[in-house]
A and B are shown apart, each in its own frame.
Chain A
């Protein structure tokens, strides 16, 4: 027998515990902003979406880099052209996805009567700007994690997804509140 529940628990627990610690920190930021989030539920709805997109894009990028490194068509250099192309396309896909989903969320909230005096253009600008910053950071972390783990003889396939989703969850929430503060919609 290859699998045993004890081994699965033993291997999974350390990384999960670290992940959970960081996610609780993200949750505390949400709690600190709870009053504003309950007044502007459209942003509350957006949080899982913001985090899901960046996590998926970072993981896809990481998986592509891992395959490239394993097969050898991506070299361990921050100047690698193939890596730069992958990075740019991730950012492009991210921008399109955030734009589409921001519009969907806005109209969903509009029909659900959850919108308090915020214009479509204002909301979309906040989400796309947050998403752009987040994708840049997450993609960069994805590259670093893939390169560092590959260099140390670890499989990037195991490392990138958990690192990218965890860091992305915290940064997503931080960026969202920063941008909201800068735009000043009163939240």
Chain B
């Protein structure tokens, strides 16, 4: 049993990811006025964080496997396989963002809250697109750095994306809610 070893290896990383979540949580704390003004906005928070987490960690781990299979590498990064991966995760984000917006709007009725459908759904779609673009670029940057240094992407992309994913998603949601609230 390597109890000490395990604590030593995973505790710092889990605390570090937790610090990322503190930044995400603080963004939520700053959004108090927007949450008050836009009914239903708080409903999408766990869903959109989960969406980003699921899509970007899957994207990262596919790139890791692609690296091990020799499909992408240091000198062969920007190819058709990578483009298909980017397109796939982007379309998935868009689809699921629409589903999140619709579900948040519809289920709110059951609980007697009546959100503005157009406002709520456009906020979620905009936040989904912005965070997808930023996190896809980030993933490629991370993969590029990992290749350059000769590390195994499987060990790096998961925790890195988990940490930055929450922050980027919450900031995107905050930005989109702010923008849509001003525009509509």
Contact = CB atoms under 8 A, between A and B. Distances in A.
Interface of A: 1-9, 12-13, 15-17, 19-21, 23-28, 30-32, 34, 37-38, 41-42, 44-49, 51-53, 55-57, 60, 82, 85-86, 89, 92-93, 96-97, 100-101, 104-105, 108-109, 112, 114, 161-162, 165-166, 169, 173
Contacts of B54: 12, 15-16, 19, 162, 165
Contacts of A48: 21-22, 24-25, 28, 49, 166, 170
B89 to A, nearest CB: 7
B62 A3 contact: yes
Interface of B: 1, 3, 6-7, 10-11, 13-15, 17-22, 24-26, 28-29, 32, 35-36, 39-40, 42-47, 49-51, 53-55, 57-58, 62, 66, 69, 71, 80-81, 84-85, 87-89, 91-92, 95-96, 99-100, 103-104, 107-108, 111, 113, 159, 162, 166, 170
A4 B89 CA distance: 11
A166 B66 CA distance: 27
B104 A24 contact: yes
A4 B84 contact: yes
Most buried by B among A4, A86, A112: A4
Contacts, number: 202
Task: State the main secondary structure of chain A at its contact with B.
Answer: helix
A20 B124 CA distance: 13
A44 B170 CA distance: 13
B50 A19 contact: yes
5 contacts: A8-B85, A9-B88, A46-B25, A49-B22, A60-B10
B43 A28 contact: yes
B40 A31 contact: yes
A1 B29 contact: no
